Structure 1
Amino acid sequence: MKKYLFGLIGLLFASNAVAHGMSASDKQRILDAGLMEYIELGASHMLTGYDHLLFLFGVIFFLTRFNDIIKFITAFTLGHSITLIFATLYGIQANYYLVDAVIALTVCYKAFENLDGFKRYLNSRSPNLTWMVLGFGLIHGFGLSTRLQQLPLGDEGIVMKIIAFNVGVEVGQIAALAIMLFLLSGWRKTESFSRFSRASNIGLMLTGGLLLMMQLHGYQHTTFTEEFPLNRDDHSHVHEDMQAATLPAALESYQQPISLKPKATETTDTEPAPAAAPSTHSHEGGTPHTH
């Protein structure tokens, strides 16, 4: 069972490795792009950034007052704007898998806080949420910066390009939040919200944990190349083969080959069919006998 769990994680990494960062088409499109293209790229990147969206979903999950929503989203926006702009402008980089692993932890944290985990399990009050969301925003912005720095930004107009990308991120964030708030506001009016809100946040925490393992798996393959010698393409092919294999085939690969004796009524190319009557024989000069 354990090998299938690691196989699943590896398979998820394979798809994540292909989609991680900016695609080749994005890099080609941005070579001669104007500010509008940077805005579009920022918006699309936020709308496809499942880790950022999961964190935002956790933040607004129980928020019903408009002022509270504005306060926390403003704190998050301020945080990720600071690191997105300044980390990109000054070329501050880090391994993007490790950055995304920390972002996955922020998803787990918010789900844990939604479950009242600090009071229930740690017998303490949860830290000030506004400051935590601001701090987590700084981390998310650093993750966005690692993506943006994969593009050929050039030196001309780089500040405006970064700001345009950040504006696009905010546009995508507003669009995603509008959909989330619409769905949550409708769900809160039903009886199922009180029954399944806890299960939803448990699922959010488990998803964050899975994302964490995926990112750490990616970090191992990009950093410890001697211990993990497969390159990215080979790694993807291995897990694609694992996905295509059936369960019996997968189990067979871990077993020693077993030679089975043909049935008495069958014949093979190398062994003649057995005689109709038993033959008399002896073992190493012993008494002749039959079976």
Structure 2
Amino acid sequence: MSTPFNAFTLVEFLAFAGLSFLYVRADDSLSPRGKTECTIVAGILFAILVAARAPALLTFYRVWAEIGPLYFGYAYANGPLAALFNPASNYYDLAANLSSAVAVSAGLQWWPVVDTGSGLLVALLFPFVVAGTTQSISWRTGILLAVATALYCVTASETFGTALHIKGWGPVYAALVFGSLAFKQPLNRVHIGLLLVLPFTGTPAAFALIIWRLPALCYGSLILSDLWFGLFLDWRRRSAAHCCRQRIPAWPYGRSRSSVLQACQTCSCSRWVVRSFGRPCFSAT
């Protein structure tokens, strides 16, 4: 049986065409009002694409899979406060825990609405987060178009309609954060807020953030050695110059000024190697 929410309908086609047109026409030379209007229209088109991906979820609410017994059931038995710290599935899922606490506080009849609505809310908030982390209009529309296209590679419609799968949006938001920072976007409150929240949304976002910082963990010692070596080299040059002026043996490099300069050149070469291999690992952070 065909599934209408997977069909490429006329509405979806028009939304894709409109978002593609904005990406082509978007220019950073637009006036502030034009940038705001372009951002709003792109966000609306992205919301239409998300809704058209699974339109049945707009009218048919349900509690999806294990979020019922593992999260909502735990919250019902232990209360909303204990639900916030529920370590179900051996990892912490802030979105599922928060949704279960809200659902139990609202009442049993609201469980399907909270589960479905929270899943859709995270997807619909994405354009606002893009606008908060990226200043370039062309980049904003390009990111929305790329993510909207990637959404159609996901065949499971329940991805958009359950708090259980909000963790799948975690690496998307994480990639948006360190991608915008890599392209020299200024760090702001949106970046900081996401970096504080994303590690608690599940393992996908946590792994993405770890991979992002992995070069710093591997090459942090090189940067520290680079800093120490710079201080040492500056001190050594001053000491060598003083030894040459006072005719004091510059141990351990010998008595002659040429040997001292050769040693300093060796230190400079080593420091250049450290910088050359260490700095690219941090140029994106």
| TM-score category, normalised to shorter length | under 0.3
Considering fraction of residues, name the structure with more helix. Answer: 2
Q: Which has the larger radius of gyration?
A: 1
State the TM-score, normalized to the length of structure 2: 0.25
Q: Relative contact order (C-alpha < 8 Å, sep 6+): which is higher?
A: 1
